Chain A
């Protein structure tokens, strides 16, 4: 699976949009981009995933560049409860199922 590069940490203001970047310049055509977060040693929580189109759900939006070498997770109105480590992961689809490989993620602190 392709590696990803994320900032180690970032702060954002409560109520503002949080834009979390991820670089995956070696991504292959059949690899999806997944975003998870982990709040204080809880289990990782699925946020969103996409292949090449932008995606939106009730939690966030995922913007993938046209060349697919990078993406941005957008939390539209950050709350204090969004403080967590956010992981950007690329994963190829396999018939027998494929694991997620977690990196260090971005530690996001939402400040009042």
Chain B
């Protein structure tokens, strides 16, 4: 069964550094999402992406965050200048049609020191 893959599984970075989290969505999917989960807290929506543009973003997704679909297969989340509070699991998800389920990857654990 096709799945969403995320790399790396664990990323350690220093405060103030830029980090790029990578995702390969399921190949025929059209909608893409990033979520995050701080340890012990809820899964939080960050951003959705459709037709090569952001369709919705949350308050968390400020100017430090950006997303890109640089080619036909990858979907990336960039954090320009990481803060300690950015430490979390980041989940990528994709969806084929607008009324179909989201499928999630197993996440990247980001640790900011």
B56 contacts the other chain (Cβ, under 8 Å)? yes
Is the beta-carbon distance between A44 and B104 smaller than 8 angstroms? yes
Chain B contacts with A in 58-100, Cβ cutoff 8 A: 89, 91, 93, 95, 98-99
CA–CA, A41 to B88, complex, Å?
A: 11
Q: How many residues of B contact A (CB 8 A)?
A: 28
Main secondary structure of the interface of A (DSSP, over half): loop
Residues of B within 8 A of A102 (CB): 35, 42-45
A96 near B98 (CB under 8 angstroms)? yes
Among A34, A41, A94, the residue within 8 A (CB) of B98 is A94
Q: Among A34, A45, A100, point to the contact of B45 (Cβ < 8 A).
A: A100
Contact with B along A75-112 (1 / 0, CB 8 A): 00000000000010000011111111111100000000
Q: How far is the CB of B43 from chain A (nearest CB, A)?
A: 4
Find out whether the CB atom of B98 lies under 8 angstroms from the CB atom of A99.
Answer: no
- Given contact pairs A42-B106, A44-B104, A97 touches B95 in the complex (Cβ within 8 A): yes
In the complex, what distance in Å separates the CA atom of A95 from the CA atom of B101?
A: 14
Give complex CA distance A32, B102 in Å.
13
Query: In chain A between 1 and 37, which residues have their CB closer than 8 angstroms to a CB of chain B?
Result: 32, 34
* Residues from chain A with Cβ under 8 Å of B31 in the complex: 97
- Please indicate the chain B residues that have their CB under 8 angstroms from the CB of A45 in the complex: 104
Residues of A in contact with B (beta carbons under 8 Å apart)? 32, 34, 38, 41-46, 49, 87, 93-104
